Homo-oligomer: A and B are copies of this chain.
Amino acid sequence: MSRSKPTDVARHPIGVVRARTGLSVEVLRAWERRYAVVRPLRSEDGKRLYSDADVERLGLLHRAARAGRSVAALASLSTGELQRMVDEDAERASTRPTLPGSYREQAMGAVRELAPERLESLLRRALLSLGAVTFLEEVVAPLLVEIGDAWHEGRITVAHEHAASATLLQFLGWLTRSLEVPGDAPRVVLATPRGEHHAFGAMMAAAAAAHDGWHVTWLGSDLPAAQIATGAEQGGARVVALSAASDAAGLERELGALRALLPRHVPVLVGGAGAATLADVPGVTRVRDLAHWRALLDPHMTSTED
């Protein structure tokens, strides 16, 4: 779900609505003309201006229409009713064994029973079935959270945790390599800062970046700022990103040092649970989650550097 409240003031031109909903401009106009599904405001010169609520509604209509429902019949429903209907359709379809939630549960079962081969087989199956993005966002990420919780609450031992870690890391590494991209792809350098040994978040970020067409260089865990800076320079990094699972004491200092060592035009990003509780460090951007990470990488793809 979105964390930013839908502001009524935000008004979007039709091109943005197309990008957000996946509906073509012809369909957007046809639906409005024929069924009056939304009533966007108009700018002074007659261009449509959609509110966030409109966009939300159109997205729901799109999903309902794809689920086989008739647009004409849906037009008179309120957005709330639409939401309910779409949820219901999704519920009905999710009895199949091939959905994210099901994979996650089965994978957690494999973790509890200390069955790494089964875990790997499940991961492979989930990846091929769902595609890399859904796999990472709806299977791997929640699975990591669940493993962490289970461990803290004593429902699994450290042996379970280590076995699952090894399998997951290996799998994510394989995925990243399988997504390798052309040599002229933009480059991102990943590491975890000094004091941070957990590489999960970084490996997930690596796979997501590789999927989006980046060349990924993984420097390693527990690295001092100077080494990260050197690696970034030698690697020709356009972006440097760190993952911090725990809120280690010296994290802010390390980030500050790294920021000072890198050229200004190289963004420094930091993600993970440890980053959430972090004080602001000038010139360092916090990454909330995978979607945010991919959004941050996107614009740099086309910035022509020379």
A residues near B (Cβ < 8 Å) are: 2, 4, 6, 10, 12-13, 15-16, 18-22, 43, 52, 59, 63, 66-70, 73, 84-98, 124-125, 127-134, 175, 178-179, 181, 211-213, 264-265, 280, 282-283, 291-292, 294-296, 298-299, 302-306
Contacts A19-B94, A19-B305, A265-B20: A4 and B88 contacting too (C-beta < 8 A)?
A: yes
Contact B179 A91 (CB under 8 A): no
Q: Which of A19, A124, A178, A211 has the most CB of B within 10 A?
A: A19
A235 CB, nearest partner CB in chain B, Å = 20
Contact A13 B68 (CB under 8 A): yes
Contact B130 A92 (CB under 8 A): no
Measured between beta carbons, the chain B residues less than 8 angstroms from A10 are 85
A46 CB, nearest partner CB in chain B, Å = 13
Contacts A4-B84, A4-B282, A283-B2: A89 and B19 contacting too (C-beta < 8 A)?
A: yes
Contact A129 B211 (CB under 8 A): yes
Contact A93 B19 (CB under 8 A): yes
Q: Which 6 A-B pairs have the closest CB atoms?
A: A15-B68, A131-B131, A2-B282, A90-B295, A91-B295, A22-B94
Contacts A22-B302, A90-B295: A68 and B179 contacting too (C-beta < 8 A)?
A: no
Give bound CA distance, A31 to B199, whole Å. Answer: 43
Give bound CA distance, A97 to B304, whole Å. Answer: 18
Give bound CA distance, A212 to B128, whole Å. Answer: 11
